[in-house]
Structure 1
Amino acid sequence: MTEQPLSQRVTAPASVAEPRHPDVATWRSPTADDVDAIHALIVAADTVDHPTWATPRDEIEDLFDAAHIDPARDLRVGFDGDGRAIALGVVMIHPSRDVHVNTYLMGRVHPDVRGLGIGRDVLRWEHESALSRLASMDASVPAGIFVYIDEVDTAGRRLAERRGFALERWFSSMVRDLALEAPSIDVPDGIDVVAFERRWSESTRLARNDAFRDHWGSLETPADRWTKMIEGPHHRDDLSFVAVDGDRVVALALGSVNEDDWEMQGYSSVYIELIGVVRDHRGMRLAPAVITALLRAARDAGLDKAVLDVDTESPTGANSLYGRLGFEATERAMALVARV
C-alpha cells in the first residue's frame, strides 16, 4: 500500500519554540567558529557515556560542511555564563530519501549539568523540529525519527520513551585481541581478497549499498558522503580489504584508526567501520575472509585490538560470526524510534 505523503500524515506543532532553561545563559545556532567548543562538550559527554571511544573533531566539522545539514536550522548550542558549551541539539535527515526518510536526533548535555532538565528541553526542540521538517515533505515513503542511546544512559531512555519513542534494536560493541591467531579462510576460485585501493572505491560503495539493503535502519550511502569517509583522516587503505570477483567488489571490511581513542581504551586499535557481502555472494565465507585479512594486517601494523559494532539481530547473523572469530561483546547501545 502506498504511504500518504508525509505532509498529510505527520502532525507537527504550528511553531517550534527555541530551547530554554534557567541554567543555560544563551541558546543559538552555532557556526564553524564553535567547532572546538562543541567538541569539548561532546568529549566530556563521551567519557561518561562510552568511556572507550572518543568522537573525532572532524565529525563536528562535518556538521558545518555536509550539504544535507543547515546549521542555522538543524543545530542549537546552549552556553553557560562563562561561554562554555553545555548542551547541543542536532536534527539530521539522511540524504537518501527515496525509499525511507530517516531522521536522527543527536543531542548531548555536559555531565556537569545533567539532571537539571536541560536534556528534556533539548529533546523537545529536536523532536518538534524533526516533526516540522517531515511535515513539510511530500515524499510518500515510510519515515522514522531515531535516537541512539548508550545502555548506561537510563535517564536518556526515559526521556525518549516519554516522548513516544520505542526501543527497537540493540547494538553491541565487540573487541578482539589481535594477539590471537587469525584463521586462514579459503574463498571460491575466481575471487581474490586484496587490500583496498582507491580504484575500487565506487565498486566498494555499490557493494556496501547492496549488502546493507536488507539491514535494519540502513539507507544507501551517496557518492559524496562515501568519498568524504574514504578520504577522511581516519580511514586506512592498508587496514581495509575487499573480495573481488572480476572487476566487481563483492565483499568488504574497511578499517579506520582514531588515535584519540587509544588513551581512553588503554590499548591501540583498529575500528572496523563496515563489513558486508553483496547478497548474490553470501554463503561463500567472504565475510570471514575479508575480516581475517584485516585482522592480520592490523596485527602486523603493531596494533593491539580490533573493535566493531554490530546489530544484535542482524539478518546475516553477523554477531555470531564475530563471536566465532574471537570478538567479545562489551558496551551496548539502544536504538529508539518514533515511526511516523
Structure 2
Amino acid sequence: MTDTSLAERLGAVAAPRVPVHPDVAVWRSVSRTDIDGIHALTVAADRVDHPTWTTPREEIADQFALRHLDPERDTLVAVDRDGALLAVGVVLLHPARDDGRLTGFPSGTVHPDHRRRGIGAKLLEWERQRAREQFAEAAATLEGGGAVGKMTIFADEANVGLRALAESFGFGVDRWFTTMVRDLADAPVLPPVPDGFEVTAYTSARDLDTLRARNDAFRDHWGSRPTDAERWAQFVGSEFFRPDLSRLVLDDGRIVGFCLASVNEDDWETLGASNSCIDLIGVVRSHRGRGPAPLVVSHSLAAIRDARLAKAVLDVDTESPTRANTLYERLGFVATERSLALVERV
C-alpha cells in the first residue's frame, strides 16, 4: 500500500463515540443475557436478508464466547424505550498476526421494522472506528508496526441496503461468492480410489490433524486466515457438525483432503427440502491435481444421500485459485444465489 507501517498510517486512534439517534434510548455493550434477544433480532433480519438460511442461536453464543472478543469494547446494541433490541453490532479482530496483516470483521444488523432511519449508519460508523482502534492497538505490538489492516463485511446480493451503506463509508466489492445446490435424487458417481489413498469417515481423533490440513489448504485462498484451535473446537464440537456425513482422504495416514458437513434442520423449511450444508472442502497444496477433491466430495455426497437428505448445499469463491466452482458443477451442483465481500483497507 505505502512505505509506511500500519501503525504510522493510523497514528493515535480514539475510542469510538457512543452514537446518538432519536429512536434509540440506550446504546450499550452486549451481555450474555442478550443472546436470546440478539438471536430473535437476527432471525427477523434473516427472513429479509437471506431467506433460504437461518442463523443458529449456537453460532451467536459461540461468537460471544471467543477469547479474542471483548464484549465491553467490541460490541454494541441499540435498545428502544421499551427495552427491545433494535440493532446489534460486533467488531471481531481475527487473532492471526502473520505477515503483519490484520483482518477485522464488522458485522451486525438492524431489525427490519426499524431500517431506513439511519440506525445502521450510526452503527457502522461506530464499528469502523472501533476496527481502526483495534488495528492501532494490535499494530503497536507487531515488529515493524504491521503492514495492512483490512475490514471485511459480507452481504447477500439481495441485501442491497447493506451494500449501499457499506459503499457510502468507502467499502468496495472485492469478491463474489456463489451458493450451489446438489439435488441428491441422483446418486453421485464415486471415482476410483487412487493407489495409496484411503477414504474414511471423520472422527474426533483427527480434529487437530484436520485443522492443520485446513490451514494448509486455504493459505492461498482469498481472505483466508489460519483458524485457531479455539474456533476449530467450536466448529467440530457443534451440535450441527456431522462426522458421519464428513469424509477424509488419507495418503499413507496423512490427511490430504477433507469434506466437512453439518445439518441444521431449521434450514430445511427455508430451503424447501431436507439438506446438509458442506461447510469446508479442501486439499492440501502438495496434493492438488491428484484427485482428492472429487473423491472426497463424492463420498461425502453419497453419505448425505444415504442419510436420506434431499440436497447438499455449499458456498464457493467464484474466483477460487483451485477452480473449485467448476469442479462442483461437474459433480452436479447448480449455482443459486450470490453473496459478496465488501472491503476497506487501511
> TM-score scaled to structure 2, two decimals?
0.95
Measure the CA separation in 2 of the matches of 1:189 and 1:122: 55
The amino acid that maps onto 1:91 is V
Matched, 1:174 2:180: yes
Measure the CA separation in 2 of the matches of 1:24 and 1:206: 45
Matched, 1:209 2:215: yes
Deviation at 1:97, TM superposition (A): 1.8
Aligned partner of 2:82 in structure 1 is 82
Contact 2:152 2:341 in 1 (8 A): yes
Contact 1:24 1:80 in 2 (8 A): yes
Aligned partner of 1:128 in structure 2 is 129
Q: 3-state SS of the aligned residue for 2:321?
A: coil
Contact 1:194 1:242 in 2 (8 A): yes
Q: 3-state SS of the aligned residue for 2:227?
A: coil
Contact 2:13 2:136 in 1 (8 A): no
Aligned partner of 1:161 in structure 2 is 167
Q: Trace 1:5-154 onto structure 2 (pairs within 5 A).
A: 5-10=5-10, 13-99=13-99, 100-137=101-138, 138=140, 139=142, 140-154=146-160
Comparing 195-204 and 271-280, the one that deviates more: 195-204
Measure the CA separation in 2 of the matches of 1:222 and 1:101: 15
Aligned partner of 2:228 in structure 1 is 222
Deviation at 1:14, TM superposition (A): 3.1
Deviation at 1:82, TM superposition (A): 2.3
Deviation track 1:46-73 (CA, whole Å, cap 9, x = no partner) reads 0101001110101111232100101111
> TM-score scaled to structure 1, two decimals?
0.96
Measure the CA separation in 2 of the matches of 1:175 and 1:20: 43
Q: Trace 1:301-316 onto structure 2 (pairs within 5 A).
A: 301-316=307-322
Measure the CA separation in 2 of the matches of 1:186 and 1:143: 45
Contact 2:187 2:305 in 1 (8 A): no
Deviation track 1:124-145 (CA, whole Å, cap 9, x = no partner) reads 0001110111122223233201
Deviation track 1:283-316 (CA, whole Å, cap 9, x = no partner) reads 1121111111111111111111000001110000
Deviation track 1:142-194 (CA, whole Å, cap 9, x = no partner) reads 32010111111212112111211111100111111111220111232111011
- Give unmatched runs, 5+ long, in structure 2: none
Contact 2:62 2:234 in 1 (8 A): no
Q: 3-state SS of the aligned residue for 1:293?
A: helix
For residue 293 of structure 2, the aligned residue among 281, 287, 295 is 287
Measure the CA separation in 2 of the matches of 1:240 and 1:71: 33
- Pairwise CA RMSD: 1.5
Matched, 1:262 2:263: no
The amino acid that maps onto 2:77 is V
Deviation at 1:3, TM superposition (A): 6.6
Change (3 A) 1:215 1:131: same
Comparing 16-25 and 36-45, the one that deviates more: 16-25
Deviation at 1:317, TM superposition (A): 0.3
Matched, 1:184 2:198: no
Contact 2:64 2:71 in 1 (8 A): yes
Deviation at 1:12, TM superposition (A): 6.4
Measure the CA separation in 2 of the matches of 1:3 and 1:229: 39
- Give unmatched runs, 5+ long, in structure 1: none
Q: 3-state SS of the aligned residue for 2:208?
A: helix
| Residue-pair matches, total | 340
Measure the CA separation in 1 of the matches of 2:4 and 2:134: 16
For residue 300 of structure 1, the aligned residue among 306, 322, 327 is 306
